[in-house]
Every structure is written in C-alpha cells, then in structure tokens.
C-alpha cells in the first residue's frame, strides 16, 4: 500500500509531517513513539476520522478502526455486536472468544474499561476489512485478556490477510505482533523497518534513545 505524503496542522502548528509511506500489504505495522509524536493523529487520518491537510486515502470507508478511547452503545453486549449485521449465534461465538459471553445480556454501558475494550475489538473484528487501524487496543485490558486478544487478532489477520496499523506503547507487544515497526517523533517518521531490526538494532540515534526507556 503506497500512501501519499501526510501532513496535519492544528492552530498553525504542524503535528504530522510524513513523506510518502509504503505499508506492506498483509503485514502488521506497529507504530511507536512518545506521547504527542503523532501516532493517534496518523491513525485517525488513515481511518478517515479526520482529514489531512491535503490528499485522500484509498481505504477510507473500508477500514476497521478502534480508537484509543473504546466505546460501547447503550444496549446489551450481544446487541453491540449484532449492529454489524451478524446473527445472534455469530455474535455469541465472538463474545465467547473474548470471554464476554457471560455478560451478553448486560447493558454494555455497565462494563469495566477492560471489558469495553474487549467488546470494541470484538465488534471491529466481526467484519472483514482490508485495513485495520487499532489505537492502543489492549491498553485497558489485564495481561491475560490482552494476550488472548492478540491471539484472536493474529488469527483474524492470518485469515483475512488484511494490513494492520497497530499503535502501541508496548515494545513487547510490537515484538509479538508486528512484522514492521514505524517510529514517530514530533510528527516525523524517524525510522521504519523490520521489527527485529528497529527494536534491536535501530539505525537512528533518536530511535535508540527512545528504546532506552523501555525494557524489551
């Protein structure tokens, strides 16, 4: 997937300034960087939630998107999944996979933050998308739920061969999930490459300085 240059300006301040991007089709791309580096802005632009300063992107309207702040609809948990057009049996199977079947009849607005995140991811994965954009999808989950969600996501990606853009603060998650890593700083793409190369042997001093704050 070849994308045109992406820029975004707020109040006269350029918050994202990326050259033409190449995202390998059928690959999971982890986007890493400090707070304010432009990760979520990039995710929202690719998902079509906000517009870049200029240009457009090929998968707007087709991409599956899970924003950083997970949300649910004020209806039962199972109905949240049936909004995608799925039947009850299919929705219940998805809830079972995410460990939410016991909450199927509960109003989704009563779920905890971690449960809401699982429901939001489950809802996105009810449909096949050529592009998935996930902004910190497991940040609110406990370790067991996060690992199980990663397994389900990997199974989904292997089945659909979709391209995934995964914004994450977890370097261990990037290692487990991604084939490619993009490191952003101050709205710039500093480094992009295979996961092992970027996280273990980065070419840029800025990337190394960022990684020094994390235990890999």
Per-domain boundaries in the chain? 2-71+128-211
Q: Which class is 2-71+128-211 in CATH?
A: alpha beta
From first to last of its 216 residues, the chain has per-residue pLDDT tens of 888 899 999 988 999 999 888 999 999 999 999 999 999 999 999 999 999 998 777 777 789 999 999 999 999 999 999 999 999 999 999 999 999 999 999 999 999 999 999 999 999 999 999 999 999 999 999 999 999 999 999 999 999 999 999 999 999 999 999 999 999 999 999 999 999 999 999 999 999 999 998 755
Pairing of strands 180-185, 28-32: parallel
The token pair that represents 25 in the structure block = 């089709």
Beta bridge partners, 188, equal: 185
Of the CA atoms within 13 Å of residue 142, those in its CB half-sphere come to 6
**pTM metric for this prediction:** 0.94
């Amino acid at each position: 997937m070849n994308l045109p240059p992406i820029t975004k300006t707020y109040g006269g301040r350029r918050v994202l300034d990326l050259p033409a991007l190449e995202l390998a089709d059928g690959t999971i791309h982890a986007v890493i960087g400090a707070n304010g580096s432009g990760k979520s802005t990039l995710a929202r632009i690719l998902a079509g939630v906000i517009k870049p300063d200029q240009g457009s992107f090929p998968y707007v309207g087709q991409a599956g998107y899970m924003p950083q702040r997970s949300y649910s609809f004020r209806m039962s948990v199972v109905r949240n999944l049936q909004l995608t057009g799925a039947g009850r049996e299919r929705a219940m199977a998805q809830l079972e996979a995410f460990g939410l079947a016991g909450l199927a009849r509960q109003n989704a607005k009563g779920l905890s933050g971690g449960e809401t995140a699982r429901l939001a991811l489950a809802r996105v994965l009810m449909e096949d998308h050529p592009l998935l954009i996930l902004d910190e999808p497991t940040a609110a989950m406990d370790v067991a739920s996060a690992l199980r969600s990663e397994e389900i996501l990997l199974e989904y990606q292997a089945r659909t061969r979709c391209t995934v853009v995964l914004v994450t603060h977890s370097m261990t998650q990037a290692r487990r999930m991604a084939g490619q890593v993009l490191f952003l700083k101050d709205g710039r793409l500093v480094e992009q490459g295979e996961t092992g190369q970027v996280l273990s042997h980065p070419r840029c001093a800025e990337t190394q300085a960022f990684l020094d704050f994390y235990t890999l």
